[in-house]
Amino acid sequence: MKQKLLTAVTAAVMAAGPALAELKIVDTSYRTGPYAANGIPFSDGYQDYFTLLNERDGGIGGEMINLVECETGYNTEKGVECYEGTKGDDSLVYQPLSTGITYQLIPKASADGIPLHTMGYGRTSAKNGSVFKWVFNYPANYWDGASHAVTHILNQNDGDIGDKTIALVYHNSAYGKEPIRTLEKLSEKHGYDLTLLPVDHPGQEQKSQWLQIRREKPDYVIMWGWGVMNQVAIQEAVNIRFPMENFIGIWWSGSENDVKAAGERADGYKALTFHNLGRDYPVYDDIQEYVVDAGLAAGAGDQIGSVLYNRGMYAAMLAAEAVKTAQEMHGVAAITPEQMRDGMENLEITEEKMAAIGLPNFGPEFTVTCENHGGNGLGAVSQWDAEAGKFELITDYYQSDQEIIQELVKEDSMSFAEENDIELRCD
């Protein structure tokens, strides 16, 4: 009996042993519900990159990655449940892919000591690392995006947009309202008129907003949408014959899904991005060989190279590089969430590093520091080519207007620190 018990205990310890040493990454995905069409490619990209590292390199620094997927359905309550259900066993980092879930997780993750990476979404002022110790939103945030759109319009008008009108069509939610203050501040600086046009969730009916655009004839329309709101807005813009080249969406309004319903007539539509597009990168050959052809792809393997697959893969790559940084800093392979946070805070992405990974020219260089959790705030503009059936970069990476954005970040984050009695760090 004693021997049996000893055998059982030994087996249990052996079974538990490798799991404790693994690098646990949780993918809070949404493959079901109204936003599944966007959640699937992102999650496929996120998971396939980690699978590649496991299959090709034997994990990171000799430690295998234990990837755990949890379905949120883009529902904030389910997202919090996923976090609570998976946060044990040293989950290294969460990428919620939802501004709503992010807002709920910021206090929880901060209390639990688990880093959040909200890449290009979430609470913008989390850029201030002296207030938000556990939250990172590199390489760019919403306010950077608003500034990139205005910079692009400035460039098209020889730097003078004092007589121009810009309309913001936005999802009537915390996410959609994010760019308003930045656009208002930029309006004071550059002199353009700003019209605000909120669209109620989910955004299937936007006739009123587009009739107003048709009447008032703004020179440019900037869109902050998600899901069906994007497809309907682009369709309505086509219907009223709004010039597509003057219609610019945030990066969450710029995937192949968004232009599909409008078809060829969406040709020329523009969207911001903080990374490059397409599948012409060596890393994709490896993903094809080690992941897709081996039957290990997270999805059907048909999303590779799409905008959102690239973004998911990029998010995974940045997480993996943070793991490597943490391993180097602490001299251990099996890092803890706190060490992961250190890795994220000391992350440096250079072109040399990207090329070595198999992603040359895929994204801008950036550095994360204790004070700056948001990276360098670089972004570019892409344009939909209907004939080729893909988005293509049409500009270099723009630097966002740091003079205005830093001020807004400071104001918002300091008020958060005051409300939550947070002691500032990074001195």
Residue 257 lies near other proteins (rule: CB under 8 A): yes
Q: Pick between residue 79 and residue 227 the one whose CB is nearest to other proteins.
A: 227
Q: Pick between residue 257 and residue 400 the one whose CB is nearest to other proteins.
A: 257
Characterize the bridge pairing of strands 270-273 and 378-385: antiparallel
List all residues 6 or more positions away from 260 whose beta carbon is below 8 Å from its beta carbon: 231
CA neighbor of 244 nearest in space, from 268, 225, 262:
268
Q: Pick between residue 229 and residue 381 the one whose CB is nearest to other proteins.
A: 229
Residue 199 lies near other proteins (rule: CB under 8 A): yes
In whole angstroms, how close is the CB of 203 to other proteins at the nearest point?
8
Q: Pick between residue 228 and residue 283 the one whose CB is nearest to other proteins.
A: 228
| 319-338 binders of other proteins (CB under 8 A) | none
* Candidates 46-54, 83-91, 153-161, 223-231; binding stretch for other proteins (CB under 8 A): 223-231
Burial (0-12, 13-18, 19+ Cβ within 10 Å), 8: exposed
Alpha-carbon span 27 to 68, nearest angstrom: 6
Whether the CB-CB separation of 175 and 226 falls below 8 Å is answered with: yes
* Candidates 12-20, 75-83, 133-141, 200-208; binding stretch for other proteins (CB under 8 A): 200-208
| 259-288 binders of other proteins (CB under 8 A) | 260-261, 263
The four Cα atoms 323, 325, 329, 331 give a dihedral, to 10 degrees, of: 50
Residue 36 lies near other proteins (rule: CB under 8 A): yes
* Binds other proteins by CB under 8 A, chosen from 26, 35, 223, 335: 35
* Candidates 75-83, 107-115, 201-209, 268-276; binding stretch for other proteins (CB under 8 A): 201-209
Alpha-carbon span 361 to 155, nearest angstrom: 23
* Binds other proteins by CB under 8 A, chosen from 7, 155, 239, 420: 239
Burial (0-12, 13-18, 19+ Cβ within 10 Å), 245: middle
Cβ atoms within 10 Å, residue 308: 24
In whole angstroms, how close is the CB of 177 to other proteins at the nearest point?
10
Residue 34 lies near other proteins (rule: CB under 8 A): yes
Label residues 402-414 b or e (16+ Cβ within 10 Å = b).
eebbbebbeebbb
Alpha-carbon span 145 to 378, nearest angstrom: 9
In whole angstroms, how close is the CB of 252 to other proteins at the nearest point?
15
* Binds other proteins by CB under 8 A, chosen from 10, 208, 350, 402: 208
Alpha-carbon span 132 to 119, nearest angstrom: 15
Whether the CB-CB separation of 152 and 192 falls below 8 Å is answered with: no
Residue 361 lies near other proteins (rule: CB under 8 A): no
* Candidates 2-10, 61-69, 88-96, 236-244; binding stretch for other proteins (CB under 8 A): 236-244
Alpha-carbon span 106 to 115, nearest angstrom: 9
* Binds other proteins by CB under 8 A, chosen from 108, 181, 214, 330: 214
* Candidates 1-9, 101-109, 122-130, 253-261; binding stretch for other proteins (CB under 8 A): 253-261
List all residues 6 or more positions away from 398 whose beta carbon is below 8 Å from its beta carbon: 147, 148, 151, 152, 378, 379, 380, 381
Residue 160 lies near other proteins (rule: CB under 8 A): no
Instruction: Tell the residue number behind the tokens 């989950």, with chain if given.
Output: 91
In whole angstroms, how close is the CB of 309 to other proteins at the nearest point?
12
Tokens of 181: 């203050």
Residue 215 lies near other proteins (rule: CB under 8 A): yes
Residue 172 lies near other proteins (rule: CB under 8 A): yes
Give residues in contact with other proteins (CB under 8 A): 31-37, 40, 172, 196-202, 204-205, 207-209, 211, 214-215, 227-228, 231-232, 235, 238-241, 257, 260-261, 263, 295, 300
